[in-house]
């Protein structure tokens, strides 16, 4: 039998599911348990098709808009990314029973944006156009109340109505470094701009990026397990490349690995976006173990002990589930 070459795998920690994702998935699972199938979910509950497919197998039905849902007494769940105010308003007008799985850290940004608006501020949102979280945050306020800034160039071009009454909020899943540069550009131009009391970029996004920064310079290549639709997963690949790793790719699962990029390796870093299940990380490691003699070392840069409460109506089931 041919001897397999040795491969050191440095496994980033923290990685994978964050508290907001875990909570959102629990809400769908517990709703299915309490009310039975179907449970309708507006937009992918989290950006991972394997999570979505596993929930579909249990009886969840995913739609993009409420108008796709027939008149029903079945529960309707709003995704972790948050929704514009028009969505719960439409649900109420149709007497729908809905459960809001918006991540509490996204809800915090919604509250901040609304508070700034009430105080008469012109609001800048740093984020990616078209992302559901951005659509949800902008949809908390009247049309035109929020200006979207995606890049430093946008920040340098932006012309406010009144530089003295500006405030900014950010999407929770951005690159920490990119956002710092954009905020610096805004502050340089508009010193009076109001920012959040506490960082909007969520703890999980920050921690996963810091873990990548610690591992990327130590390895020849990096794999991030996550969906191409996942903003926080895409940012992890960018951070790995910026941190000195020559090869870094995003894969949904082991079958997506381009093995031509991972030939004759001595060391590999592995991480996962906040919506990627740990089973897919294990699958990737197993795929490398078929080609290499692997030694896995976990590199821990932070401990995470955060958990978010699920809606009260589902809590007795949560206790019974022992989660």
Q: Tell me if residue 220 is catalytic.
A: no
For the chain, give percent helix, strand, coil, nearest 5: 45, 20, 40
By the 10 Å C-beta count (0-12 exposed, 13-18 middle, 19+ buried), 288 is classed as: buried
Rounded to 5°, the CA angle 25-230-123 comes to: 100
Q: What tokens appear for 111 in the block?
A: 């509250």
Active-site hit among 29, 112, 122, 133: 133
Cβ atoms within 10 A of the Cβ of 138, count? 20
Query: How many C-alpha atoms does 225 have within 13 Å on its Cβ side?
Result: 26
Q: Which of 153, 177, 157, 150 is nearest to 168 (CA)?
A: 150
**Helix boundaries (H) for the chain:** 19-35, 49-58, 86-93, 104-118, 132-138, 152-157, 176-189, 203-215, 231-242, 278-289, 315-321
| Pairing verdict, β 267-272 and 247-251 | unpaired
Residue found by looking up tokens 């729908």 in the block: 96
> What is the C-alpha separation between 153 and 171, in angstroms, rounded?
18
Length of the chain: 323
Active site residues: 133
């Amino acid at each position: 039998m041919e001897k397999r070459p040795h491969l050191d795998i440095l496994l980033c920690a923290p990685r994978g599911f964050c508290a907001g994702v875990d909570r959102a998935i629990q809400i769908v699972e517990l709703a299915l348990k309490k009310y039975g199938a179907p449970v309708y979910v507006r937009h992918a509950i989290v950006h991972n098709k394997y999570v979505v497919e596993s929930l579909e197998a249990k009886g969840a039905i995913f739609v993009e808009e409420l108008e796709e849902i027939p008149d029903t007494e079945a529960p309707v769940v709003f995704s972790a990314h948050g929704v514009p105010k028009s969505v719960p308003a439409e649900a109420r007008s149709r007497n729908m029973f809905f459960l809001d799985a918006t991540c509490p850290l996204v809800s915090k940004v919604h509250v901040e944006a609304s508070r700034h608006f009430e105080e008469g501020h012109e609001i800048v949102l740093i984020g990616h156009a078209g992302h559901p979280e951005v659509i949800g945050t902008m949809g908390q306020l009247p049309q035109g109340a929020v200006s979207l800034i995606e890049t430093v160039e946008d920040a340098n071009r932006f012309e406010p109505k009144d530089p003295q009454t500006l405030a900014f909020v950010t999407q929770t899943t951005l690159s920490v470094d990119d956002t710092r540069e954009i905020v610096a550009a805004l502050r340089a131009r508009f010193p009076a701009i109001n920012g959040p009391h506490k960082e909007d970029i969520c703890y999980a996004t920050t921690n996963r990026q810091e873990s990548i920064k610690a591992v990327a310079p130590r390895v020849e290549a990096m794999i991030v397990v996550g969906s191409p639709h996942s903003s926080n997963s895409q940012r992890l690949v960018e951070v790995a490349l910026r941190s000195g790793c020559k090869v870094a790719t995003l894969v949904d699962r082991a079958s997506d690995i381009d093995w031509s990029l991972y030939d004759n390796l001595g060391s590999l870093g592995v991480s996962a976006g906040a919506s990627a299940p740990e089973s897919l990380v294990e699958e990737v490691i197993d795929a490398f173990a078929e080609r290499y003699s692997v030694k896995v070392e976990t590199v821990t840069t932070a401990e995470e002990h955060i958990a978010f409460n699920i809606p009260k109506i589902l809590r007795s089931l949560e206790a019974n589930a022992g989660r």
